[in-house]
Chains A and B, each alone.
Chain A
Amino acid sequence: MGFLKKALSLHKQEQKVVEKMRSHLKLLCSTCDSFKNALEANSRNAMRDVADLEREGDSIRREIISDIYEGAFLPYFRSDLCQFVEVVDHVFDAVKDTASCYGETSLPEELREECIRVALLNVRICEMLFLTFEAMLRGEDLREKTLAIRIYEKKVDDIKLSLFRNARSIAVNGFWQGKMLADFISGLTSISDIIEDASDHLQIILVTIR
Chain B
Amino acid sequence: MKLHEFVTTKTERIDCDKSVYDAIEKMVDRRIRSLVVTFPGKEVDCGVITARDIVFKLLAKGLDPNGVKVSEIASRPLVCVDKDAELTEIAQVMKNAGVARVFVCAEESIMGVVSLLDLMSAALVGRARGNGLS
Contacts and interface: CB of A to CB of B under 8 A. Distances in A.
A114 B5 CA distance: 12
Contact of B8 (A113, A147, A158): A158
A74 interface: no
A114 B112 CA distance: 12
A128 B9 CA distance: 23
A142 to B, nearest CB: 10
A34 B128 CA distance: 24
Given A120-B5, A124-B5, A144 B128 contact: yes
Assign chain B's interface to a size class: 10 to 19
A121 B128 contact: no
B128 A145 contact: yes
Contacts of A131: 128-130
Interface in A39-89: none
Q: Which DSSP category, helix, strand, loop or mixed, fits chain A's interface?
A: helix
A91 to B, nearest CB: 19
B124 A114 contact: no
B2 to A, nearest CB: 12
Interface of A: 113-114, 117, 120-121, 124, 128, 131, 144-145, 147-148, 151-152, 155, 158-159, 162
30 contacts: A113-B9, A114-B9, A114-B10, A117-B9, A120-B5, A121-B5, A124-B5, A124-B125, A128-B125, A128-B129, A131-B128, A131-B129, A131-B130, A144-B124, A144-B128, A145-B128, A147-B124, A148-B127, A148-B128, A148-B129, A151-B121, A151-B124, A151-B125, A152-B125, A155-B5, A155-B6, A155-B121, A158-B8, A159-B10, A162-B10
A162 B117 CA distance: 19
Interface of B: 5-6, 8-10, 121, 124-125, 127-130
A21 B8 CA distance: 34
A138 B79 CA distance: 44
Contacts of A113: 9
A11 to B, nearest CB: 29
Nearest to B31: A161
A120 B7 CA distance: 13
A50 to B, nearest CB: 22
Contacts of B121: 151, 155
Contacts of A117: 9
A120 B9 CA distance: 14
